Amino acid sequence: MDADSSSLQSRGTRKRRKMQRVTMMDVAKLAQVSPSTVSLYLRKPAAVSPAAGKEIARAISTLGYVPNLVAGGLAAASSKVVSIIVPSIRNAFFAETVSTLQSELAAEGLQVLLGHSEYGEDQEEALVRTALSWAPAAVVLTGLSHSAETLKLLQASGVPVVEMWELGGKPIDMAVGFSHPHVGASAARHLLSKDRRTLAFLGARMQEDHRAEKRASGFSETACTEDLVACEIINHPGAATVEAGSLLLNRALQQLPNLDGIACSNDLIALGALFECQRRGIVVPDGIAVVGFGDLDFSASCIPSLTTIRPSGDLIGREVARLILNSIQGQHPEGAARIIDTGHVLIERRST
């Protein structure tokens, strides 16, 4: 029999590898209070006496205690994590929203668990599944189209859900965004007001990006007035890049040699179109007027400066954060308050 190795333990029962992490217990011992008081202090400092609080704070700092949120999450049956799922984080739109959201949530002690679905519903479903494994405080999704299974999972979980960047359908729980058809309509109206009658909508990846596709259909519906000469929707199967913009403009000109106005589903595409016009010697806006979408970094500074529609990814991020924070604090919004329209603004510049 093992003579001394088990002397500390009453019997030779198996023992787990004891982490040598500083625990709340250690803090409690040093501060001469019970663990519950430490826990209470950490969650609502006002509820413990100033004397005890000071003692605990000292103990925490001398021991370098870092609370274990995993244990806390398990005990509280909900973790301080918000899971955000976007199609792509490389996309400047979503990068902006995620960035804002992260800042706002971090200020309230919430972490962001990030996933990107690459515009695939199956991928999204897998991400939602793992997200729920973390018992998150909330889940943020992009858009209103999700697989049936995703809906089921989320509904069953009872976790607050915010769908962002799209409005116009029935959200699972809450939604923050704007109407994409309306964006397309605004672009069309603007071009029509500039007396353009041979129009094209240049989009990328519209087989997967339903929101871009909705902007396109909103565009063509509104463009169809009596004296319209032509209106084409042209799609690039790959990602929305500057290069795609050049290609798309070329294709548009093949189909419509008299093209005089284009709307793009993304400012990157618009920039590519602008470059292609420059290469071909087409003057913007005299020859072709260009409307973009996104109001990205460069849109105000390019030549000519780009007329574009700003969706305000920033504002969306802030509103999503607000809804989440309210939900967590037990003030889950009801009825119409669960849907927030952040609208869009057309910013007229030199390209139209």
Partner DNA sequence: TGACTTTATCATAGCGCTACGATTAGCCAT
Partner DNA sequence: ATGGCTAATCGTAGCGCTATGATAAAGTCA
Residues that bind DNA (CB under 7 A): 12-19, 21, 23-25, 32-37, 39-40, 42-43, 47-49, 51-52, 67-68, 71-72, 74-77
Is residue 342 a contact partner of residue 312, using CB atoms and an 8 Å limit? yes
Please name the amino acid found at residue 200: A
Residue 12 binds what, of DNA, its own copies, none (CB under 5 to 8 Å, by partner type)? DNA
Residue 25 binds what, of its own copies, DNA, none (CB under 5 to 8 Å, by partner type)? DNA
In whole angstroms, what is the distance from residue 263 CA to residue 194 CA? 13
- Indicate whether 243 belongs to the interface with its own copies (CB under 8 A): yes
Query: Using CB under 8 A, which of 32, 49, 61, 106 touches its own copies?
Result: 106
Give me the least distance between CB of 2 and DNA, in Å please. 10
Is residue 342 a contact partner of residue 310, using CB atoms and an 8 Å limit? no
Task: Pick the stretch among 105-113, 184-192, 197-205, 215-223 that binds its own copies (CB under 8 A).
Answer: 105-113
Alpha-helix residue ranges (DSSP H) falling in the chain: 24-31, 35-43, 50-63, 69-76, 92-106, 121-133, 148-157, 180-193, 210-223, 242-255, 267-280, 313-328
Alpha-helix residue ranges (DSSP H) falling in 141-233: 148-157, 180-193, 210-223
92 or 172, CB closer to its own copies? Answer: 92
Distance (Å) of CA 4 to CA 7, 20, 105, 108: 5, 21, 52, 50
Q: First and final CA of the chain: distance in angstroms? A: 89
Tokens of 268: 């990157």
In whole angstroms, what is the distance from residue 218 CA to residue 155 CA? 31
226: which residues sit within 8 A by CB, 6+ positions away?
A: none
In whole angstroms, what is the distance from residue 303 CA to residue 12 CA? 79
Query: Using CB under 8 A, which of 122, 195, 221, 297 touches its own copies?
Result: 297
Rg (CA), the chain: 27
67 or 168, CB closer to its own copies? Answer: 67
| Residues binding its own copies: number (CB under 8 A) | 60
Please name the amino acid found at residue 167: L
Closest CA to 138 of 156, 116, 112, 115: 112
Residue 145 binds what, of DNA, its own copies, none (CB under 5 to 8 Å, by partner type)? none
Biggest CA–CA distance in the chain, Å, is 99
Give me the least distance between CB of 303 and its own copies, in Å please. 5
Task: Pick the stretch among 25-33, 45-53, 161-169, 271-279 that binds its own copies (CB under 8 A).
Answer: 271-279
Give me the least distance between CB of 160 and DNA, in Å please. 16
- Indicate whether 325 belongs to the interface with its own copies (CB under 8 A): no
Query: Using CB under 8 A, which of 35, 52, 194, 298 touches its own copies?
Result: 298
- Indicate whether 148 belongs to the interface with its own copies (CB under 8 A): no
Residue 217 binds what, of its own copies, DNA, none (CB under 5 to 8 Å, by partner type)? none
Pairing type for strands 261-264 and 289-293 reads parallel
Is residue 235 a contact partner of residue 268, using CB atoms and an 8 Å limit? no
30 or 316, CB closer to DNA? Answer: 30
Indicate the DSSP class of residue 350. Answer: T
Give me the least distance between CB of 74 and its own copies, in Å please. 5
Residue 337 binds what, of DNA, its own copies, none (CB under 5 to 8 Å, by partner type)? none
Residue 45 binds what, of its own copies, DNA, none (CB under 5 to 8 Å, by partner type)? none
Is residue 228 a contact partner of residue 199, using CB atoms and an 8 Å limit? yes
- Indicate whether 99 belongs to the interface with its own copies (CB under 8 A): yes
Residue 268 binds what, of its own copies, DNA, none (CB under 5 to 8 Å, by partner type)? its own copies
Q: Write out the residues near its own copies by the rule CB under 8 A.
A: 17, 19, 64, 66-71, 73-74, 77, 79, 81, 88-90, 92, 95-96, 98-99, 102-103, 106, 109, 111-116, 127, 129-130, 132-135, 152-153, 156-157, 241-243, 245-246, 268, 271-272, 275, 278-279, 297-298, 300-303
